[in-house]
Structure 1
């Protein structure tokens, strides 16, 4: 099937005199999750991972993806005629090198101009200095005959009870941060930034409570480009009172072209497509790159206010209750020799979360991985479904969207006998998670500087994980957000008070097992001394950690003290909302280790 699709793509390329074509994972809004309508790379290649870039010539095709998807990509690309390229592995050529080696001077490389950011396009121009880059308008409109249409769902307002700040206040803070004299138009393509700024939520994008939208912000107005029929009349009027002007989604490009030329256009270069950039300067208007690291709206959104912080704490209690009910149900089924599969467990999480009146859906596709499946960092229960047997490890990484916050938790539990290596690796991962949780650090510290606290213990055994240790988390928004991160790769954005990040060290033994333990942590100011201001982390997640695999001798006294204190907090937060049998179960799982 994929070979036939590649031939269709090559037919389009031949017609357009294009020698190579690049298909990214992006949609025009540059989010992680996308509608099926924009899932062109998956349709063309058969690879279903969320990250990957496909390059095609008339005779060859290759797909680049990262370590999370190596094993999955090998399976899904088998027989497709597409070669797998493993990113950040020694000897792997870049996509630019691969294309340049196959094309002659002045031949054309095609891209869909709506799917490449200003930054990405300029990087390609530098890499392809002897080649032409041809900007195309969505070739898949021609070759993908059964392409799903765009979907627009009802949009609702998020009240200040949950957001903690009015639209007008956010608008004013954005203007202050931009600090622009004269007329300007700040262009926003990211749906989560727009949802935060306008206090709106929707269901247009899988797992993310977002409406498909663009926005353009002036000193006086916020122009919101969205499906206008998605709003109630009452909500439309409320937005109008906040100086939000609702306009049709498909008029965005023409609006930024026709807006008065004297207004300075500003945008985050990582989040404006080259097509929309070209539209914004079509009439000769000046353009300025967003000067705020990570982007102005993204940075404002990352610092949670007190209402949002309290909302996270509340969401974590609701989620922790669902975790306790699920973990107890798994244990009961296994102890009574009842059949339980990976999919069954994913369903249990969803069912128990649904008991909360604040629950709005999953924050990402649940990862329930038994045995060797857990060696795939982004594994999802497959159509084959896997029976859980009473041996080894079970990894569960799931999250929920609640009106008051977003959750993301991973626990790895022993469902039967373990090897010494499994127990040692588990304990080292736990040590790393505790190390980062306990960190106290000078204001201005970046995630790159904190990363080794979590990565160090497993590194000391000669093992490593290739993904990041921590990602930002949105407030009833995207489970993965920036601009902050905790990872090996340099990120100039400091971890600041109010930022919420994950803490998820891991280890993967291909073909055998995977271990990951993840809590969500909130940066808070700790103290101020003559040396400066110091910050620390508050752990927000309330889910018991399995202590059965722990080799106690590998933990120091401070780490044991932290673990016991954490379990005391988990029991205190969750037990009032549980049934007596569940309280007994939780009490046993939260007992101290000495």
Structure 2
């Protein structure tokens, strides 16, 4: 029997004379998390992972996702009539090849023009050869009858005491960075870019303190497209004083079309929809692509100022205290007979964080994964009651949003007896994490050049993890932030002083266990030598690393010294904020290895 929702999209396709339709995970702002109103791929397919692309023809349907979601997608797509395509695995065809094999040259592929960026559209156009791409305007407004409405929550200004820079200063730096002579209109769709530029924070999107918004930046003004009733009147006046002109959220497309023709339109190709691109050039205006990877604002935002850096240190310390309290409670509970559930541990983290009055909420859906669940990189414990096993590993990956910073930490702890393979894998992952933490490198180095430091040790066993080693982190913004990264794939962005990035090597043994250890690092200057300026990392995370699984012989002298010094520093920094019992436990857990 045909999937009812697939039947609806196929009926729409017949009406529009379209032979295939592609549904991405995007919203018009191209963020990682989206409101349910825009979550059309999940609604249509039943797959709830954050990354995936669905393609539907009159007869077939398939969904492409990456290694983080293979097991989840197998489970959620079972019986749906949608075939799972595992990206970057041998024998898996690309979405484009799949469509080419099923369509004639005279047939059309439909897309929602607001959900494809300029870059994505042009890449699709290139690979589909002569197959026509038909731009559609939100077909799901018709076929999704009970579609959730958009919502707009209150918006707050982030005081300069926390942001470290005024709106007008950021505006001036942005115009200079773009390097355009004459009138300009810089088009911004990314909500986190806008939040940073305008020093605003909201709660329209889960886990990210963002307001649904667009912006158009001229030489003199920032036109901010938001739900204006979400702002207090006094905050509107402050924004106006900084050169911000507020406009209705839904007027962005018409505004950029009607704006004076002489202004050069500029936008990041990765962050402007093909719909808005077409509107920008409809009046005959000139258009220029922002050549900076991820966009000019993303690069400015990635390099944290001194106030933001100090905010990260405070946020990570507060979060490390919450982690320590949770781990103390958890280990004590594991020593008894009471059943403990994954979800219960996740809730305990949030409860301990809330003791900080500047805590604003979680920075992503928490992961607490026992046993085989830890082999799922993005497992969630929130929708089930899974008992924590008193054997093997327990993996926990969770973070918080604070007014002064965003956190992200992963620890894998010993929950009971371990196998020799588990102990070896744990030690090699720790070895890789330490190696990257100790790195010193010439300014101009890219993340891909450092990735092997973290990935190398576990690779000696013939095992590998398929996700990146490190992602940028926003300042009271998105926990996953670019444009910098540390991963195998080439990324032209150089690591620069002031960038904050995660360090999280891992290994996943399907159906058995997973190990991941993650600290957050701040890139900073080390020193100048005759060969140039060298950089290093400052570790910002101070959560005890479990040494019980460590195979001592697999760590060299420098790595063992780093580990002992790290756990000693954890005691020094965290102890003033915990009680006597917690201090005693922390001292035991952080005692030196010889």
TM-score norm. by structure 1 comes to: 0.99
8 Å contact from structure 2 (residues 371, 389) kept in 1: no
Alpha-carbon deviations, 1:155-179, whole Å to 9, x = none? 0000011100000110111011111
- Is the Cα–Cα contact under 8 Å of residues 343 and 384 in structure 2 kept in the other structure? no
What is aligned with 1:69?
69
* 1:87 Cα deviation from its structure 2 partner: 0.2
1:536–1:285 distance in 2 versus 1, CA, 3 Å = same
Show the counterpart of 1:572: 572
**Residue pair 1:343, 1:385 contacting (<8 A) in 2 also:** yes
Give the aligned partner of residue 584 of structure 1.
584
Q: Which residue of 2 aligns with 1:349?
A: 349
Task: Output the CA distance in 1 between the equivalents of 2:244 and 2:590.
Answer: 49
**Cα offset, 1:333, TM superposition:** 1.1
Cα distance in structure 2, aligned partners of 1:188 and 1:155:
18
Give a deviation string over 1:57-85, Cα, whole Å, max 9, x none: 00000000000000100000000000000
Alpha-carbon displacement from aligned partner over 1:136-190 (angstroms, at most 9, x marks no partner)? 0011000100000001000000001110000011011101111111100000000
Gaps of 5+ in 2: none
After superposition, residues 56-205 of structure 1 pair within 5 angstroms as 56-205=56-205
2:252 alignment counterpart: 252
Q: 1:414 matched to which residue of 2?
A: 414
In structure 1, distance between residues paired with 2:545 and 2:517: 8
SS at match of 1:464: coil
Question: SS in structure 2 opposite 1:535?
Answer: strand
Q: 1:59 and 1:92 mapped to 2: Cα distance?
A: 19
Aligned positions of 1:385-534 closer than 5 A? 385-534=385-534
SS at match of 2:421: helix
CA distance in 2, matches of 1:248, 1:130: 39
| Aligned counterparts of 2:589 and 2:350: Cα–Cα separation in 1 | 22
- Name the residue aligned to 1:15: 15
Do the aligned residues in 2 keep the contact of 1:2 with 1:44 (CA within 8 Å)? Answer: no
Shift of 1:90: 1.1
Equivalences for residues 230-245 of structure 1 within 5 A: 230-245=230-245
User: Is the Cα contact below 8 Å between 2:500 and 2:523 reproduced in 1?
Assistant: yes
Aligned structure 1 segments of 4 or more residues deviating by more than 2 angstroms? none
Number of aligned residues: 594
Please give the alpha-carbon distance, in whole angstroms, between the structure 1 residues aligned to 2:424 and 2:293: 40
Q: Distance in 1 between matches of 2:338 and 2:266?
A: 59
Please say if residues 364 and 398 of structure 2, whose CA atoms lie closer than 8 Å, have aligned partners that are also in contact: yes
Deviations 1:66-120 (A, max 9, x none): 0000010000000000000000001111000000100001200000000000001
- The 1:220–1:411 alpha-carbon spacing in structure 2 relative to 1, beyond 3 Å, is same
Aligned to 2:3, what secondary structure does the other structure show?
A: helix
Q: CA RMSD in A?
A: 0.8
Q: What's the CA shift for 1:382? A: 5.2
Work out whether 1:291 is the aligned partner of 2:291: yes
Matches within 5 A, 1:541-552: 541-552=541-552
Q: Secondary structure at the residue paired with 1:281? A: helix
- How many angstroms does 1:582 deviate by? 1.2
Look up the match of 1:41.
41
5 Å matches for 1:268-287? Answer: 268-287=268-287
Distance in 1 between the 2:356 and 2:579 partners? 15
The separation in 1 between residues aligned to 2:18 and 2:161, in whole angstroms, is 53
Q: Following the alignment from structure 1 to structure 2, what is the Cα–Cα distance between the partners of residues 254 and 490?
A: 37
Q: How far is 1:291 from its partner?
A: 2.1
Q: Is the 8 A contact 1:2 1:46 kept in 2?
A: no
Tell me the CA shift for residue 529 of structure 1: 1.0
